Amino acid sequence: MQDLPSSPRLPNRLLWVYSVPTMGIGFMFFFVVLYLMKYATDVLLMAPAAVSVIFGVSRVLDAVTDPLAGYFSDRTRSRHGRRRPWLLGAALPLGLAFLMIWAAPLALKGAGLVAWMAVAVVTFYAVMTLVNVPHQSWGAELSEDYHERTRIFGRRHLMTNVGTVTAVLCLFFITRSDEPRDLVLLLTAIFSVFTVVTIIAAALTLRERTDFQGRGPQAVLGVYRDLARNPHARLIMVVFFIESLGGATIGVLTPYMAQYVILEISFPLVVLTYMIASTVTVPLWTALSQRMGKKALWLCSMVVTSLGFGCFFFVGEGDVAVSYVLAFILGAAGGCGNVIAPSVTSDVVDWDELETGERKEGGYFAAFSFMQKSAAGITIMITGFALQLSGYVPNAPQGEAVQLTIRSLYALFPLSCYCIGALLFTRFSLNEEAHAAVKAALTERRAPS
C-alpha cells in the first residue's frame, strides 16, 4: 500500500519538510567548495598541492562509499522504511565531521596538519554521501509524475541555494575579519547544529512508500551493470559529470579570479550574485520545463552557460560590472541544470524498473553523487597543481603567467566542458511521451499486486 498522496500535486508542507534540510547540506558542501582551498592555503598555510592530494584521495574513496550507500539504502528493509534509518544515523556524524575540517588545532603543523585535514575531509564527504543519497532518493519516490518531480527537485534546489547564499554571505564577513578562524568556527558550529536538527526532523516526519521495500538490487555491482546497460543513464551520467566539472569552477576559482585578476571586486559578492540568480529562477525553470520539455530546457542552459564562461576569458582588472552581469547569467543558466538533472534521473530510474523489476533510486543517485563530487575534486586538484606550477604566491600580486592560468581555468575549461556536454545531450530520448509509456507499463505490471 502506498503511504503518499495519490494526487499528482504534492502539498507544499510536504515539500518544505523534505527540502529544508538541504539548506544546511548546501551550506556545508559549498562552504567547503568555496572556501576550503583558500582557507587551507592562506590561513592554515598548507601547500596547494597538499590540499589537492587530500581532495584526490577523498574522491578515490568515494568510488567505494557512494555505491555502497546507494546499494544498502535501496536494500534496507525495516519497519521504519528504506531511507529513514540512514538519515537518522548519519545526521550527527555529518555535523561533527564538518566541524573537524575547520577546527584543526593551532599547534598542528606540517605532516600532522595534513593528516588532520585528510581525515576530516575524507570523513565529511563519506558521511555526506550517507545523508545525500538517501535524501535525494526519497525525493524521487515522493511522486512518479513527470512534471511534479521537477517541482520536488526545484524546491530542493531552492533550499540548497538558500544555504549556499548563506555560506557566501558568511564568507563576505569572514574575508573582512581580523580573526577569520574564530568566525569560521562560530558559523560552522551554528550550521552544524541546524543541519543535524533539520535532517532528523525530516526523517521523523516524512512517510515512505511501503510497496518499494524489498525491491532493491541483488548485488552492488549489479546496480552499475544495469546502469551501464541503460542507454539513458549512460548518457546523462557523462553529461552531468562534464557539466559538474565546469560548474565547480565558479566555487573553486572565483576567490583567485577576484583577488588576483579583477582586483577591485569582492569574490563573495560575485558568488552571491551567481547564487541569487540560481535561486530566484527556480520557479521559472519549473514552469518552462512543462512548456519546453526537460531536454530542450537543459540543453539551452548548457549553451548559455558555456558562452558565459567563455566571456570571462576577456575579463581583466577593473571589469567589475561585466563580472556581475556574467555571474548572474551563469547562475540563472547553471541553476536550470541543478533542477532538471535529478528530475530526469528519476525518470531514468522508472525506465530501469521496467527493464529489471527493481527500484534503484539509491544506486542511481549514488552514481550521480559520485560524478558531482568527483568533478569538484578533479577541478580542485587541477587548480591546485596548476597554481603551484605557474608560480602562485599566496597573498601577493601575481605575474602574467599566474593570471593567464587563473583566467584559462575559469573560462576556457568550463567552456569546453559545457560545449561537449551539450553536444552529447542532443542524443537523449527519454522525453515526456516516452516516460508516459514507461509509466503506463509499470502501472499495468503492478496492478495484480
Contact 325, 270 (CB under 8 A): no
Mean pLDDT confidence for 305-309: 92
Mean pLDDT confidence for 50-64: 78
Residue type, 104: A
Contact 395, 42 (CB under 8 A): yes
Topology annotation, domain 13-446: Growth Hormone; Chain: A; (1.20.1250)
Q: Spell out the alpha helix ranges (H) of 143-179.
A: 148-174
Contact 210, 71 (CB under 8 A): no
DSSP conformational letter for 210: G
66: helix, coil or strand? helix
Cα gap 435→417, rounded to integer Å = 28
Q: Which of 282, 283, 276 is nearest to 331 (CA)?
A: 276
The radius of gyration of the chain's CA atoms, rounded to the nearest angstrom, is 21
What pLDDT, on the 0 to 100 scale, is given for residue 5?
45
| Sign of the torsion formed by the C-alpha atoms of 319, 313, 307 and 153 | negative
What pLDDT, on the 0 to 100 scale, is given for residue 18?
95
Residue 438, C-alpha cell as written in the block? 514507461
Q: Which residue has the cell 552492488?
A: 220
Mean pLDDT confidence for 422-448: 88
pLDDT at 13 over 60: yes
Q: Spell out the alpha helix ranges (H) of 206-230.
A: 220-229
Cα gap 174→184, rounded to integer Å = 7
Cα gap 236→421, rounded to integer Å = 9
Q: Which residue has the cell 538541504?
A: 22
What pLDDT, on the 0 to 100 scale, is given for residue 215?
67
Mean pLDDT confidence for 52-78: 80
What pLDDT, on the 0 to 100 scale, is given for residue 2?
39
Of these ranges, 44-48, 151-155, 227-231, the one predicted with the greatest mean pLDDT is: 151-155
pLDDT by residue (tens digit) across 317-336? 888 899 999 999 999 998 88
How many helices and strands (H and E) does the chain possess?
Answer: 17, 0
Please give the share of the chain, as a percent, with pLDDT higher than 70.
96
What average pLDDT does the structure give for the chain? Answer: 86
Mean pLDDT confidence for 285-308: 92
Q: Which of 367, 419, 414 is nearest to 251 (CA)?
A: 414
pLDDT by residue (tens digit) across 117-152? 999 999 998 899 899 889 988 998 888 888 899 999
pLDDT at 7 over 60: no
305: helix, coil or strand? helix
Calculate the alpha carbon distances from 19 to 155, 157, 158, 227, 322 in Å. Answer: 6, 8, 8, 27, 34
What pLDDT, on the 0 to 100 scale, is given for residue 91?
95
pLDDT at 374 over 80: no
pLDDT band at 272 (very low <50, low <70, confident <90, very high): confident
Cβ-proximal residues to 213 (8 Å cutoff; 6+ apart), any chain: 77, 81, 82
Q: Which of 25, 184, 19, 23 is nearest to 91 (CA)?
A: 25
Mean pLDDT confidence for 40-54: 82
| pTM for the structure as a whole | 0.78
By residue count, the chain amounts to: 449
CA 257 to chain centre: 22
pLDDT at 436 over 70: yes
Q: Which residues of 48-85 are buried (b: 16+ CB within 10 A; e: fewer)?
A: bebbbbbbbebbeebeebbbbbbbbbbbbeeeebbbbb
What pLDDT, on the 0 to 100 scale, is given for residue 6?
44
What pLDDT, on the 0 to 100 scale, is given for residue 216?
67
pLDDT at 385 over 90: no
Name the region of 81 (left: φ>0; alpha: ψ -120 to 50; beta: rest): left
What pLDDT, on the 0 to 100 scale, is given for residue 357?
85
What pLDDT, on the 0 to 100 scale, is given for residue 214?
66
Cα gap 230→390, rounded to integer Å = 42
Cα gap 428→345, rounded to integer Å = 12
pLDDT at 201 over 90: yes
Number of Cβ within a 10 Å radius of residue 182: 11
pLDDT at 246 over 80: no
Tell me how far apart the terminal alpha carbons of the chain are, to the nearest angstrom: 10
Residue type, 55: F
Q: Which residue has the cell 542552459?
A: 301
What pLDDT, on the 0 to 100 scale, is given for residue 285?
93
Residue 122, C-alpha cell as written in the block? 575524507
Mean pLDDT confidence for 438-444: 89
Q: Which of 182, 138, 163, 154 is nearest to 349 (CA)?
A: 138
H or E element at residue 106: none
